[in-house]
């Protein structure tokens, strides 16, 4: 059995998990109180001292921290270890505001690799596998995380990084890649490119480990069918370590959180109240084993649901649903909440490829939403009236899903830019008019 399938940890009793979490939390709270000024100040403001935190039941007493706090403390404010103990930094893409920089000691890197190794093993990975990693390497955590996990499992690791699709496919064929790690949108693009070259029979992939962006079940089935694989979801964020905070098992019904390292809570984003299993809210993480950059009650802005239901894989760690969208991904159009994933579901259910762009604008003081969708090559030869019939069918289906009118424009195959990393699905022109 693989070393990184750790039943004594991954299938431990709930009592045992609780005990680990309580012991580690108590230590971590003392650690940040002693070493990080911001935590000490925040806890004092909330009237809490380390003595008040005796078990996981006391977690709710701690104040939340947010991305704004991380930006305010940039770069060293949240370090809980001397810089000389740190061996690595990783960073978010920083498209809005200041970048967030996360620090790692060697232990932190080892634990992170271990979490990714568990994800690879859960997807069936063994030392016989060729693990093809085309998440970006560098400051982004995707490449380094899965690379480290793949080494731990003992797979032959192909550190491809993103881009150069031609070379990706050539190596996939020549070196017999069996596990593919990349964003789901890039997996869809690779599948399309493999078909175009007629190479589908020469691909030996059996599993994919896809994450870093929202993707629907419909997209999962599509990729699985096209690449002849089982597609596993993986979740994580730079602030908490990177990929591997949680991962899917063969059940494909949610991602097991590595609870010996991270405590997950779901809260009401408006009131901060902790919600029970099954209720939708904002995901919050507390790092109980991290040394350099341990975040406590960090609000992720990802909306999801937790479940402690028994999993047939035997793992007992809590499962989180696919994030139903990020609270800041949610569009408000004409006062209605719209998640891009709802649009993707409609498109894929009607047989369109996952190549689309959502354009939101404001015309005469009223919001508009347009969805540009690529036709498949087979639809391309349709008559004009067939095309307008398709547009109407899509408009009606979107109206039923979203409750508002969205203009649909079918565009020629291959006209929407493909993504090699995280796909940019939405262009919100309303932001241009602000400030
Ligand atoms: O995306 C880490 C990662 C790399 C995860 C590779 C999985 C695979 P960030 O760039 O900091 O880190 O972005 C984190 O991406 O808060 C979610 O909103 C989103 N996200 C990550 N994984 C998933 C997923 C990496 N499986 C942000 N499904 C998170 C949906 C995801 N959204």
Residue 97's pLDDT band, with cuts at 50, 70 and 90, is low
Instruction: Give the SS3 label for residue 102.
Output: strand
> According to the model, what pLDDT value does residue 254 have?
98
Q: Quick check: 435 pLDDT over 80?
A: no
Q: Of 105-114, 233-242, 275-284, 369-378, which gets the smallest average pLDDT?
A: 369-378
Which residues of 44-91 form beta strands (DSSP E)? 86-91
Q: Ligand 1 centre from 366 Cα, in Å?
A: 33
Q: Which among 109, 153, 112 is positioned nearest to 131, based on CA atoms?
A: 153
Q: Quick check: 382 pLDDT over 90?
A: no
**What are 116-138's pLDDT values in tens digits?**
999 999 999 999 999 999 999 99
The whole-angstrom separation of Cα 340 and Cα 358 is 8
The whole-angstrom separation of Cα 320 and Cα 331 is 23
Q: Quick check: 2 pLDDT over 80?
A: no
- What distances in angstroms separate CA 429 from CA 80, 118, 220, 361, 426, one per listed residue? 41, 41, 30, 5, 9
Q: Is 323 in the pocket of ligand 1 (CB under 6 A)?
A: yes
Say what percent of the chain tops pLDDT 70: 97
Give CA 99 to chain center in angstroms: 18
Q: Is 282 in the pocket of ligand 1 (CB under 6 A)?
A: no
Residue 96's pLDDT band, with cuts at 50, 70 and 90, is low
Residue nearest to atom 16 of ligand 1 (CA): 237
Which pTM value belongs to this model?
A: 0.92
> Which of 119, 122, 212, 233 for a ligand 1 pocket mutation test, highest count of atoms within 8 Å of Cβ?
212
Provide CB contacts within 8 A for 55, sequence distance 6+.
Answer: 18, 22, 25, 26
Measured in residues, the chain has a length of 435
Q: Is 300 in the pocket of ligand 1 (CB under 6 A)?
A: yes
What value does the mean pLDDT take over residues 169-184? 98
Beta pairing class for 319-320 and 255-257:
antiparallel
> According to the model, what pLDDT value does residue 327 have?
64
Q: Average pLDDT over the chain, rounded to whole?
A: 94
The whole-angstrom separation of Cα 51 and Cα 35 is 16
Q: Quick check: 367 pLDDT over 50?
A: yes
Beta pairing class for 426-428 and 356-363:
parallel
Residue nearest to atom 10 of ligand 1 (CA): 92
Longest dimension (CA), the chain: 73
The whole-angstrom separation of Cα 186 and Cα 420 is 5
Residue nearest to atom 29 of ligand 1 (CA): 237
**Residue of 378 and 360 predicted with greater confidence:** 360
The whole-angstrom separation of Cα 110 and Cα 318 is 22
* Cis amide bond preceding 75, omega within 30: yes
Q: Is 326 in the pocket of ligand 1 (CB under 6 A)?
A: yes
Q: Quick check: 329 pLDDT over 80?
A: no
> According to the model, what pLDDT value does residue 377 have?
85
Instruction: Give the SS3 label for residue 433.
Output: helix
> According to the model, what pLDDT value does residue 429 have?
92
> According to the model, what pLDDT value does residue 434 have?
54
> Which of 99, 146, 237 for a ligand 1 pocket mutation test, highest count of atoms within 8 Å of Cβ?
237
What value does the mean pLDDT take over residues 56-75? 96
What value does the mean pLDDT take over residues 152-157? 98
Provide CB contacts within 8 A for 326, sequence distance 6+.
Answer: 214, 301, 302, 303
**Residue of 291 and 98 predicted with greater confidence:** 291
CB 266 within 8 A of CB 297: no
Look at the alpha carbons of 372, 219, 10, 55 in this order and tell me if their dihedral is positive or negative: positive
């Amino acid at each position: 059995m693989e070393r990184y399938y750790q039943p004594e940890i991954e299938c431990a009793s709930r009592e045992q998990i609780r005990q680990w979490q309580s012991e580690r939390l108590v230590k971590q709270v003392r650690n940040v109180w002693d070493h990080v000024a911001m935590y000490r100040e925040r806890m004092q403001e909330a009237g809490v001292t380390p003595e008040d935190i005796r078990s996981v039941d006391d977690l709710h007493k701690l104040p939340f921290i947010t991305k704004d706090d991380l930006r305010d403390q940039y770069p060293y404010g949240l370090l809980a270890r001397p810089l000389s103990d740190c061996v690595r930094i990783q960073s978010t893409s920083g498209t809005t505001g200041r970048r967030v920089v996360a620090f790692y000691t060697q232990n932190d890197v080892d634990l992170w690799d271990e979490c990714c190794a568990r994800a690879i093993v859960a997807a069936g990975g063994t030392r016989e596998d060729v693990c093809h990693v085309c998440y970006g390497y560098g400051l982004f955590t995707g490449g380094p995380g899965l690379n480290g996990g793949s080494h731990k499992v003992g797979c032959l690791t192909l550190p491809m990084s993103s881009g150069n699709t031609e070379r990706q496919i050539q190596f996939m064929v020549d070196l017999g890649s069996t596990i593919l790690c990349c964003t789901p949108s890039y997996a869809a693009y690779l599948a399309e490119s493999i078909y175009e070259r007629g190479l589908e029979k020469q691909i030996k992939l059996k599993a994919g480990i896809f994450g870093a962006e929202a993707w629907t079940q419909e997209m999962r089935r599509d990729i699985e069918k096209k690449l002849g694989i089982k597609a596993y979801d993986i979740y994580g964020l730079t602030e908490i370590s990177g990929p591997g905070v949680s991962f899917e098992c063969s059940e494909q019904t949610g991602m097991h959180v590595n609870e010996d390292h991270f405590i997950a809570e779901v809260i009401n984003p408006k009131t901060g109240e902790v919600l029970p299993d099954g209720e939708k809210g904002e995901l919050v993480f507390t790092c109980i084993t991290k040394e350099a950059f341990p975040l406590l009650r960090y609000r992720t802005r990802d909306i999801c649901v937790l479940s402690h239901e028994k999993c047939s894989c035997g793992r007992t760690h809590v499962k989180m649903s696919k994030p139903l969208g990020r609270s800041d991904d949610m569009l408000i159009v004409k006062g209605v909440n719209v998640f891009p994933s709802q649009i993707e579901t409609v498109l894929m259910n009607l047989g369109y490829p996952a190549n689309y762009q959502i354009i939101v604008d404001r015309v005469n003081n009223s919001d508009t939403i347009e969805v540009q969708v690529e036709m498949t090559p087979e639809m391309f030869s349709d008559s004009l009236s067939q095309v307008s019939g398709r547009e109407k069918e899509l408009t009606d289906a979107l109206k039923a899903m979203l409750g508002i009118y969205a203009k649909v424009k079918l565009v020629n195959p291959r006209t929407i830019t493909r993504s090699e990393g995280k796909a940019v699905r939405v262009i919100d022109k309303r932001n241009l008019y602000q400030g």
